[in-house]
Homo-oligomer: A and B are copies of this chain.
Amino acid sequence: MIKVGVLGARGRMGAEVCRAVEGAADMELVAAVDQGDDLAALTGAEAVVDFTNPGVVMDNLRWCVEHGLHAVVGTSGFDPARLDTVRGWQAANPGGNVLIAPNFGVGAVLMMHFAQKAAPFFDSVEVVETHHPNKLDAPSGTAYRTAELIAAARAEAGTGPSPDATTTELDGARGTDVGGVRVHAIRMAGAIAHQEVILGGHGEIFTLRHDSMNRESFMPGVLLGVRKVADLPDRLTVGIESLLGL
């Protein structure tokens, strides 16, 4: 049984984490902490999950590292300076591994990883994402990041640009160009969050598709982090990709 504390336990994501921990056969929820609660309630936990906000997460992390608790962090806002600060705390204290992930969705992470691996072997690659019509940005951050990773993988492998003989284009028809990778954003009532990476060449097309129906889909990644954080090879790990045995 892994003893787990949750920070931000009354927030939307934190409450999901509490439910997921309680539903996991190999975990025990020992502390559900939120704004106004004393961090000392976390004493006795082996791993702490933090879904709070950028304003308080550094204080939370410092406390965890200084008390030798492992931390799994879904809160956003980590830049290189913040990561260095965390490493400094770790250098001064034994114990206290930290896993910080911008995306705990296993499916999304697999898609990005597989897209990078496959990208050098195909002539063409494009990304199509579909989201509900209330989304403010186009394309999605995940689609943009996926295209960047694909472009980098192709550059490293020396793959040429995707062929495209278009001479007459209605404005925007070919999508937006992210490092040479065309990205298309669909906004659709009834949709939630979906993404396709389409790769093609020499009489074959290879498609990776991810459909995310709700935020529940982040929980398996969070639980995986909780299970593995104590044994990670580095004291500070960014992203869950290295936990997936790829």
Contacts and interface: CB of A to CB of B under 8 A. Distances in A.
Interface of A: 105-107, 110-111, 114, 117-118, 121-124, 126, 128, 130, 133-139, 144, 162-178, 182-192, 198-217, 219-220, 224, 244-246
Contacts of A210: 204-207
5 contacts: A124-B190, A133-B163, A163-B189, A188-B205, A205-B209
A207 B192 CA distance: 15
B136 A165 contact: yes
A213 B184 contact: no
A205 to B, nearest CB: 4
A184 B128 contact: yes
Counting every copy of the chain, the complex holds 4
Max chain B CB contacts within 10 Å: which of A167, A169, A173?
A173
A137 B167 CA distance: 6
Contact of A134 (B135, B165, B169, B207): B165
A190 B126 CA distance: 13
A213 to B, nearest CB: 4
Contacts of A207: 207-211
Contact of A138 (B135, B174, B189): B174
B188 A198 contact: yes
Return the 6 tightest CB-CB contacts between A and B, nearest first. A190-B200, A204-B217, A123-B189, A203-B216, A133-B163, A172-B172
